[in-house]
Amino acid sequence: MRWGMLIDLSKCIGCHACTVACQQEHRLQLGEKWNRVLRVGPYGKYPNLTAYFLPVPCMHCEDAPCVDGCPTGASFRREDGIVVIDEEKCVGCKFCMVSCPYGVRHYNEDKGIVEKCILCFQRLDNGEVPRCVETCPVNARFFGDLDDPESEIVHLIRKKNANPLHKELGTKPAVYYIFP
């Protein structure tokens, strides 16, 4: 079992509902985002211009540099592939923020620890899907087991030729994108 997500960028309208829903679910401070939505473009040559939106949560990498680099073992990978942070063990050295090539880790000044998207594992344990997946008004996000060849997410990844971000870095992300 390995939880993963697929985001269809041709559907995403950049409404930021997922960002805000995530902030509310995890009671984050204003300005702290575990799920940024970037606007790419417009690029191309006038009048053939293209732009799209790119949501960026933690990629829950299989070969996670943040986990390897953490000197206390606070950052670790669960059996189901979700990369989480043990608040008791995190000493706030911020080395994981340097190791993560996707810039998805945030330092929480008040708690003195590093935080990031945890794929709403507390909801998954209750049989629900992550809040961002539930909230997306255009159903641009799909969620499921990447190890199950029969799952909808695996079918879609194959059919739509989805790819992770910066695949060349070899971190084996669990978040895939259908690029427009």
Is 42 or 73 the residue whose CB approaches ligand SF4 more closely? 73
Could you tell me how many residues of this chain bind other proteins (CB under 8 A)?
48
Q: Which of 19, 23, 75, 135 binds ligand SF4 (CB under 6 A)?
A: 75
Instruction: Report the DSSP beta bridge partners of residue 45.
Output: 48
- 21: closest CA among 97, 128, 125? 128
CB atoms under 10 Å from CB of 62, counted, come to: 17
DSSP summary character for residue 163: B
* Residue ranges in 114-133 that form contacts with other proteins under rule CB under 8 A: none
Q: What phi and psi values does residue 70 have, to the nearest 5 degrees? A: -60, 120
59 binds ligand SF4 (CB under 6 A): yes
Q: Which of 2, 11, 16, 160 binds other proteins (CB under 8 A)?
A: 16
89 binds other proteins (CB under 8 A): yes
SS (H, E, C) 86-119: CCCCCCCCCHHHHHCCCCCCEEECCCCEEECCCC
Q: Which of 6, 7, 21, 146 binds other proteins (CB under 8 A)?
A: 21
Q: Strand, helix or coil at 7? A: strand
Which spans of this chain sit near other proteins (rule: CB under 8 A)? Answer: 16-17, 19-21, 23-24, 30-31, 36-41, 53-54, 56, 65, 68-74, 89-95, 97-99, 101-103, 107, 112-113, 135, 165-166, 169-171
